[in-house]
Amino acid sequence: MASVELTNIKKVYPGNVEAVRDVSLTVPNGSFTVLLGPSGCGKSTLLRMIAGLETITSGTCKIGERVVNEIEPAERDIAMVFQNYALYPHMSVYDNMAYGLKNRGTPKSEIEKRVREAAALLAIEDYLTRKPRALSGGQRQRVAMGRAIVREPQVFLFDEPLSNLDAKLRVTMRLEIKRLHNRLNATSIFVTHDQVEAMTLADQVVVMNAGKIEQIGAPGEVYKHPASRFVASFIGAPAMNLMPGRIAEAGSVETPGGKLPFDAKRFSASGEVEVGIRPEDIRTADGANGVPFKAELVEELGATRLLHGNFGTTPIIVAIPASGTQYESKEVRLTVDPAAVHLFDRTTGRSLAR
């Protein structure tokens, strides 16, 4: 396996359309890195440049110790798993998995060994003689992964491989990919717009927006300490509540719904700010404590209940454990731990954390 190092990578299409803008990133050897962001943010383009399927306008891409900018995809020692499986419909599962090795002139005995081992690893031994049309979506994706595994590449690239699967199967395949990575300890780069996939799979999450990297960090880091308003609103379901605020005094911020405390040791802020609070960090309060809130709509999610309403003039969501209490159209009071309040620059959107 090998690390991947990107330095000042840019991709500009005709018409001066910047798809990727000055991206620098290190993917450590053996890590599972997820490129996360909305459609059109440049994550798939970046992956395709690593694979050699898109030319790099400027910057350097290294796999291991080798600069691969001008090296053909077949010579980069990578394997890619696509969203649409990309299997040959006229070939059996065995032949699909063996095809790349045959083209490289790998001895038949070695091909047999690798295909059988990969099939056992992915629990598809019974399907080796079948054609792709006789397989389910999940089985086809396993075959696509098996085809990548038999090559024993330095780097695995996954381009939204679970997007075509139904919700239940996506969960199953997500676990399979995680187990597979733990067993192979292979350097992997995975592209997705699904934050749940990113948070559950990644050692390192790279949040992208408009062709740039917004934040790089462990899943818990980008969730608990978002570097920008975009990251705060993109990571988390439901999304972080955001509202305008003004620093009234040290450790206190005025919002449309009332005055809230914040940890003054964490933030260097004054004047106009943007205040962020995750729905699960808000609590209902007893008596006269807290600030007033009326739930206009309640969503029951089993173990969790989402209260929708206005905090002053700002719509917010409050996530609380389900209970027998009825909250709809009833005024309650809310409190928040000062450590759970985030502050962002109103103009740039960057976190004001020290």
- pLDDT of the chain, 354 residues: tens digit per residue: 799 999 999 999 999 999 999 999 999 999 999 999 999 999 999 999 999 999 999 999 999 999 999 999 989 999 999 888 889 999 999 999 999 899 889 999 999 999 999 999 888 999 999 999 999 888 898 899 899 999 889 999 999 988 888 888 888 888 888 888 888 888 999 999 999 999 999 999 999 999 999 999 999 999 999 999 999 999 998 999 999 999 988 888 999 888 899 998 888 878 899 999 999 999 888 766 788 888 889 898 888 889 999 888 899 999 988 877 777 777 888 889 999 999 999 999 999 998
Edge-first strand order for the sheet with 314-321 is 282-285, 331-336, 291-300, 304-311, 314-321
| pLDDT in the model for residue 322 | 85
Task: Give me the residue spans of the domains in the chain.
Answer: 4-232, 238-345
Q: What predicted TM-score, i.e. pTM, was given to this entire model?
A: 0.90
Residue identified by tokens 């439901």 is: 238
Backbone φ and ψ of 161, nearest 5°: -70, -15
- Cα torsion angle, 225, 227, 230, 235, sign: negative
pLDDT at 287: 65
Q: Which CATH architecture has domain 4-232?
A: 3-Layer(aba) Sandwich (3.40)
The reply to whether 4-232 and 238-345 are identical in fold is no
Phi, psi of 217 (to 5 degrees): 180, 175
| 277 DSSP β-pair partners | 241, 341
Q: What integer pLDDT is reported at residue 76 of this predicted model?
A: 93
What DSSP character marks residue 228? B
Q: Taking a C-beta distance cutoff of 8 angstroms, is the pair 168, 174 a contact?
A: no
- The residues facing 316 across adjacent strands are 309
Cα–Cα distance, 235 to 219 (Å, whole number): 10
pLDDT of residue 165: 81
The CATH number for 238-345, chosen from 1.10.1660.10, 2.40.50.140, 3.30.70.2660, 2.130.10.10, is 2.40.50.140
Q: Are the beta carbons of 189 and 33 closer than 8 angstroms?
A: yes
